[in-house]
Amino acid sequence: MSDVIFDHKECGSCPIRHRAVCARCETDELEELDAIKYYRSYEAGQPIVWSGDRMDFVASVVTGVASLSQAMEDGRTQMVGLLLPSDFLGRPGRDVAPYDVIAVSNLTLCCFRRKPFEQMMIRTPHIGQRLLEMTLDELDAAREWMLILGRKTAREKIASLMAILARREASLGLGSTENGMSFELPLTREAMADYLGLTLETVSRQISALKRDGVITLEGKRKVLIPDFDRLQIETGDDTDGGLMV
Amino acid sequence: MSDVIFDHKECGSCPIRHRAVCARCETDELEELDAIKYYRSYEAGQPIVWSGDRMDFVASVVTGVASLSQAMEDGRTQMVGLLLPSDFLGRPGRDVAPYDVIAVSNLTLCCFRRKPFEQMMIRTPHIGQRLLEMTLDELDAAREWMLILGRKTAREKIASLMAILARREASLGLGSTENGMSFELPLTREAMADYLGLTLETVSRQISALKRDGVITLEGKRKVLIPDFDRLQIETGDDTDGGLMV
DNA sequence: CGGGTGCATTGACCCAGATCAAGAATCGCG
DNA sequence: CGCGATTCTTGATCTGGGTCAATGCACCCG
């Protein structure tokens, strides 16, 4: 998605890029953003906003994971997006949340008050351009996910999720070890099931199967090691020439 | 999506809104757009661009239907978007197509050459804003579709598709009759299957079932009549308080 | 007007993944 | 350290929708 690495240790005041690496933001713009920002923390499992709620802020994820999901009134739910550090939450110009947003793990957001942020966006065209780019990226990710949901087998779905998380970890410059890539699973089996359109039992079984077949290794229940990424890539069923990523 | 009705009879030169109704475009902007536009027609089934191709234009659909789809190399395909009249094709700032675009029916596009269009976009902020809005709408539609793909039964999927097409027809001011809403199915059973993550046999069976149960009526194979939209809405499994629409 | 050719319907069978149910592992927390 | 609450794993069974196959139905074209 981006060649720029987000620095977890400091939340930049530039919502579009981390302060240290935002080449396009001028000093006065950064100060302006500083003036309207504040931080919020959430516990794992805590709701951030419900579908239909007014949101008076937009935010960028500093640490932790949040999910966007849609629920049917009979209890079936489908996760429609996963927000990892450096991802953006909220939609400029639209103050009603279209999905439930839930903190999947402990979470810190860097929030910007909506009104001044939108005013600033109007005055500063490159922010709008950047948001369009980010929205197009999200759209690509959503459509990639439609292929996963509509056409992949349970095993391919799990492999795809692992590949996406591993790539995401790598894009942050983390997780590479001498014997493969590794990352911490930020999701429970149930959350994975909600993301993949499966049941948690099927998720568990397919993870066990991939482990049995040597495609992945688990340390505990949450730490995943990918000894051979190409092998995993094959299991996803995707074209080999790099597709889209979350 | 929009309160503005697109006039099929004339393709406006404003890509964002039909000329007659684009309140924000100035005369000189419209003339500038006129200078870079041209029309293209495609036969049903004809490819428009393949995933990975360079696109030197963006376009708006004048008549007909186009699909965006992703293919797995073993032949499984998933449609990830459906472009109906007044929808926009292409992504400013990105000249490589991320999906296959195929004319589902006979199709006319109003195309704008990419370079001048992008230059114009930079100079004319409201066009960029409008594109951000449209992209957010597409994102909502994609995520709505993720719920359909991930969690709905075959019957609910078919009902959802019918509801979406009926609503779309209504939003163009068409299709209302004294005994319900009606519309022409722009998709073959196979295309519906690709859209819904089903097989064409299941699509056919579920359409028959909905017909048998009086939820829909067919005239021929393509003309659909919805005697009671609320009944159809219930069959979709969605919340009754109006959700998102395509 | 007869036989292609491409869509659509319907039937018979099967299997991937859901559902139901029982434990096992892990993590608090007093 | 123990015991309750989660979360995860595994097994047994069931079923919605996939697969394979036959047939029906239009419409075109020679």
Question: What would the pLDDT profile of A4-43 be if each residue is shown by its tens digit?
Answer: 333 434 444 455 554 434 555 666 777 777 778 888 989 8
Cα A17 from Cα A144, distance rounded (Å): 24
* B77 inside 8 A of chain A by CB: yes
Q: Which CATH architecture has domain A152-235?
A: Orthogonal Bundle (1.10)
Residue B7 pLDDT greater than 80, yes or no: no
- pLDDT band (50, 70, 90) for residue B60: confident
Contact, B197 CB vs strand D, < 7 Å: yes
Task: Give me the pLDDT at residue B220, please.
Answer: 85
pLDDT tens sequence across B119-177: 888 888 777 888 888 889 899 999 999 999 999 999 999 999 999 999 988 877 777 78
> Are B136 and A91 inside 8 Å of each other by CB?
yes
What is the pLDDT at residue B26?
A: 66
Gap between the terminal Cα atoms of chain A = 7
Cβ neighbours, 10 Å, residue A2: 12
Identify the pLDDT of residue B33.
76
pLDDT tier at B19, thresholds 50, 70, 90: very low
Q: Which of A72, A93, A196 sits opposite B237 (nearest CB)?
A: A72
Write out residues in chain A with pLDDT < 50, as ranges.
1-13, 18-21, 242-246
Domain B19-148, CATH = 2.60.120.10
Q: What is the pLDDT of residue A39?
A: 87
pLDDT at A139: 94
In the numeric block, which tokens belong to residue A195? 């993301």
Distance from CA of A96 to the nearest CA of B (A): 12
Q: Does B163 touch chain A (CB under 8 A)?
A: no
Query: Is A32 strand, coil or helix?
Result: helix
Residue ranges per structural domain of chain A: 19-134, 152-235
Residue A79's pLDDT is 97
What integer best gives the mean pLDDT of chain B? 84
Of residues B98, B136, B149, nearest to A150 (C-beta): B149
- Could you tell me if the ipTM is greater than 0.90? no
A-chain CB neighbours of B91 within 8 Å are 136
Tell me if B134 sits within 8 A of B86, measured CB to CB. Answer: no
CATH fold for the domain made of B153-235 = Arc Repressor Mutant, subunit A (1.10.10)
**Distance (Å, rounded) from C-alpha B153 to C-alpha B160?**
10
Rounded Cα gap, residues B102 and B64, in angstroms: 11
Q: A63: burial class by Cβ within 10 Å (0-12, 13-18, 19+)?
A: middle
- A-B interface: how many C-beta pairs under 8 angstroms? 114
A118 touches chain B (CB under 8 A): no
The CB density around residue B97, as the number of other CB atoms within 10 Å, is 19
DSSP-derived 3-state class of residue A28:
helix
Give residue B245's pLDDT: 45
- The dihedrals phi and psi of A100, each to the nearest 5 degrees, come to -75, 135
Helices (H) and strands (E) in chain A, counts: 7, 12
Contact between B68 and B101 (Cβ < 8 Å): yes
Locate B37 and state its tokens.
């536009």
CATH of domain A19-134: 2.60.120.10
Q: Which residue has the higher pLDDT, A241 or B98?
A: B98
pLDDT beyond 70 at B204: yes
| pLDDT on residue B129 | 80
Contacts of A96 (CB under 8 A, 6+ apart): A52, A53, A54, A55
Three-state secondary-structure class, residue B127: helix
pLDDT of residue B87: 84
Q: Which H, E and C letters describe B136-193, residue by residue?
A: HHHHHHHHHHHHHHHHCCHHHHHHHHHHHHHHHHHHCCCCEECCEEEEECCCCHHHHH
Residues of chain A with C-beta less than 8 angstroms from the C-beta of B244: 98
Q: From chain B, pick out residues whose CB is under 8 angstroms from the CB of A143.
A: 68, 70, 80-81, 98-99, 142
